[in-house]
Amino acid sequence: MQLLIDSSDPREIAQAHAWGIIDGVTTNPTLIAKAGPDRLATLKNVLDASPGVVFCQVIGWKELDPLKTQARWLHRFSERIVAKLPMSVSGIMAVRQLKQEVPDIRLAVTTVSSVAQAYLCGKAGADVVALFNGPFDLESDQPVDLVTPVRRIYDRYGFKTKILSAGRFPRAFGEYAVAGTDYCTLRFEYLKLLFEHAYTDKRMNNFSKDWRTAFGDQTWPQS
């Protein structure tokens, strides 16, 4: 599974990449808009901040031609970009047509919020389906894992589309990993939560207390 940071802030991206476990970046129109007034500079800064894959969404929803022309532009701007097309009839048509017209273009379909929509993306031959699992995490007290059913459908029908799950909290992140998602993307504040757990804090504090009681500030020799 590749772990991505959902961000357009080069500082956050660089901080996360320093951990040594981040494989790339997802962006979206909201994140790009938040990053500053020069959208092209923002995209270049994101590409400079991450050596891995960068997902970038075309602007528009239901007009086929503008979706296709922007996806082609993104593809030419960097070979590391996966162009995100919207979940719509035009988005699915754009996947089918671009895949025939530009065989090496890399395409995702984004804002996918149902198994039915994910089926359409697999059928269309998208390289990646971006499952927006995160909002379900917030709105439901029952686990809503879209990855498991979509993985089963793609495996059953031989769709080669990879699954990107957008998530929020560690429990759901673990479910996506168990379900076999190919990518998982989290915003920086949620990525940092992956390292945290109350039991980890409790045991580390107990270890420190017991050691300090016996040995004070001594550690094992460090030379």
Buried b (16+ CB within 10 A) or exposed e, 51-80: ebbbbbbbebeeebeebbebbbebbebeeb
Tell me whether residue 193 or residue 204 sits nearer to ligand E4P (CB atom).
Answer: 193
Q: Write down the catalytic residue from 34, 44, 62, 84.
A: 84
| Separation between Cα atoms, residue 184 and residue 77, nearest integer Å | 24
Tell me the per-residue interface mask from 71 to 100 with ligand E4P, x by CB under 6 A, - otherwise.
Answer: ------------------------------
List 3, 6, 74, 161, residue binding ligand E4P (CB under 6 A) = 6
Whether the Cβ atoms of residue 161 and residue 129 lie closer than 8 Å to each other: yes
CA atoms within 13 A on the CB side of 120: 21
User: How far from the centroid of its chain's Cα atoms is residue 69's Cα?
Assistant: 24
The span of 36-44, 94-102, 129-137, 149-157 binding ligand E4P (CB under 6 A) equals 129-137
Binds ligand E4P (CB under 6 A): choice among 94, 105, 134, 161: 134
Task: Examine residue 132 and tell whether it contacts ligand E4P (CB under 6 A).
Answer: yes
CA-to-CA separations, 33 to 40, 41, 169, 220, in angstroms, rounded: 11, 12, 24, 50
Binds ligand E4P (CB under 6 A): choice among 28, 88, 161, 181? 28
Asked whether the CA dihedral 157, 163, 165, 171 is positive or negative, the reply is: positive
Q: Which whole-number Å values give the CA distances from 25 to 5, 133, 150, 164, 217, in the listed order?
A: 5, 17, 22, 12, 41
Catalytic: 84?
Answer: yes
The residue (of 122 and 134) whose beta carbon lies closer to ligand E4P is 134
Determine if 185 is a binding residue for ligand E4P (CB under 6 A). Answer: yes
User: By CB under 6 A, is residue 127 in contact with ligand E4P?
Assistant: no
Task: By CB under 6 A, tell whether 130 contacts ligand E4P.
Answer: yes
Contacts of 3 (CB under 8 A, 6+ apart): 21, 22, 23, 183, 184, 185, 186, 191
DSSP state of 203: H
Q: Please tell me whether residue 117 binds ligand E4P under the rule CB under 6 A.
A: no
Nearer to ligand E4P, 92 or 184 (CB): 184
Q: How many residues of this chain bind ligand E4P (CB under 6 A)?
A: 12
- Minimum gap (Å) between residue 57 Cβ and ligand E4P: 7
CB 172, min distance to ligand E4P, A: 11
Q: In which residue are the tokens 């804090």 written? A: 201
Residue whose tokens read 């320093």: 18
Q: Active-site positions? A: 84
Residues in touch with ligand E4P (CB under 6 A): 6, 26, 28, 55, 110, 130, 132, 134-135, 166, 185, 187
